[in-house]
């Protein structure tokens, strides 16, 4: 859940992603991709350092051994990613009735260190990988449906075939 301050009170909203969408995205991974696409639990924290078990921040009240024990524990529970935005995003989209998932790139294995040591060019390429996966999903969706569906709200056919074709062509450039 995500707590939203509203009129002086904390309102709890469920933070849920669509499991079917997660499976669909994972299944769009191409065996020819030079990287592994996986799915699992993402742990959302309130900060980059202590909340994520880093020891290189301004404050640290635990040891390297404590950190490693904790990271191994959450790994054993299925956590494959740590970040700071997914809970509010999941709560907002769930509350709005929008199917959603997150797609992230992992920049480093936290069981091996806290610092991203990859050169900027490599990190930039890594950051494009989630975009490619989402572009595959959008392209496949448009090819299959040719329309936008709002479950429970009917559906809207594509109003401009010219724009639809343009979006299809642009999606192809991301492959």
State mean pLDDT over 65-82: 95
Q: Quick one: pLDDT band at residue 114, thresholds 50, 70, 90?
A: confident
- pLDDT on residue 92: 93
Query: Treating both helix axes as pointing N-terminal to C-terminal, what angle do 19-27 and 120-145 enclose, rounded to 10 degrees?
Result: 110
CB-hemisphere CA count at 13 Å for 17?
A: 19
**By the 8 A CB rule, do 109 and 71 touch?**
no
Q: Is the pLDDT of residue 50 over 80?
A: yes
DSSP state of 46: S
CA dist 143 and 91 (Å) reads 29
Task: Report the largest interatomic distance among the alpha carbons of the chain, rounded to a whole angstrom.
Answer: 60
CA dist 140 and 104 (Å) reads 20
State mean pLDDT over 15-43: 92
- pLDDT on residue 154: 40
Contacts of 63 (CB under 8 A, 6+ apart): 55
Q: Is the pLDDT of residue 85 over 80?
A: yes
Average confidence score pLDDT of the chain? 85
């Amino acid at each position: 859940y995500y707590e939203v301050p509203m009129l002086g009170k904390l309102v709890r909203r469920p933070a849920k992603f669509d499991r079917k969408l997660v499976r669909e995205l994972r299944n769009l991974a191409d065996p020819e991709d030079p990287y592994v696409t996986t799915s699992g639990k993402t742990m959302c924290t309130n900060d980059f350092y202590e909340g994520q078990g880093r020891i290189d921040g301004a404050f640290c009240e635990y040891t390297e051994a404590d950190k490693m024990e904790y990271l191994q524990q959450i790994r054993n529970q299925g956590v494959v990613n740590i970040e700071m935005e997914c809970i509010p995003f999941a709560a907002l989209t769930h509350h709005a009735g929008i199917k959603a998932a997150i797609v992230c790139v992992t920049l480093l294995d936290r069981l091996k260190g806290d610092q991203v040591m990859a050169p900027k060019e490599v990190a930039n390429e890594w950051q494009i990988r989630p975009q490619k996966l989402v572009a595959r999903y959008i392209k496949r969706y448009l090819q299959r449906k040719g329309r936008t569906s709002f479950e429970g709200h009917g559906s809207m056919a594509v109003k401009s075939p010219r724009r639809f074709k343009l979006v299809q062509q642009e999606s192809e450039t991301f492959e």
